Amino acid sequence: MIYYGRMNAEDVKSSLQKLADPLRAKNSAWFFKTGPGQYGEGDQFIGVTVPDQRKIAAAYREMPLQEVGELLRSPIHEHRLTALIILVQQYRNGDRDEMPPEFGSCAHLVNQEHAIAMPCGMVSSVSS
């Protein structure tokens, strides 16, 4: 899965939507307890597997941080998780001595979006 041309949040959302599975989305909403008063209240799913999200993230690993931030602000769980995977890939693939200046704001970006981006066990999915 290699993408050429623009690298923006809408392209990632479109790629994820092509793999959406309504039954998986329903099951994920149940599993992550998204009902009123539950742990993941209000979280929305489109039903894309984590391995598929990792493939898409790899294709967009050079996406600008501003676009990654747009994904982090999405109400859709898979958009946010894919954004976090992209950030991890950017960090792992970067030359620490030659990081672009905006990469210093990577931790700030995640902290800024922390309340939105981290529910439902995303940390364990990203760190593996």
Between 86 and 5, whose confidence is greater? 86
The residue-averaged pLDDT of 13-18 equals 97
pTM of the model: 0.75
pLDDT band with cut points at 50, 70 and 90 for residue 2: very low
Find out whether 56 and 16 touch, Cβ atoms under 8 Å.
Answer: yes
Q: What pLDDT does 54 receive?
A: 96
Residue 107 has a pLDDT of: 53
* Residue pLDDT, tens place only, 80-114: 999 999 988 887 776 555 555 555 555 555 555 44
* Whole-angstrom distance, CA of residue 94 vs CA of residue 111: 20
**In this predicted structure, what is the pLDDT of residue 17?**
97
Mean residue pLDDT across the chain:
79
Task: Report the percent of the chain where pLDDT is more than 90.
Answer: 52
Q: Are 43 and 120 in contact (CB under 8 A)?
A: yes
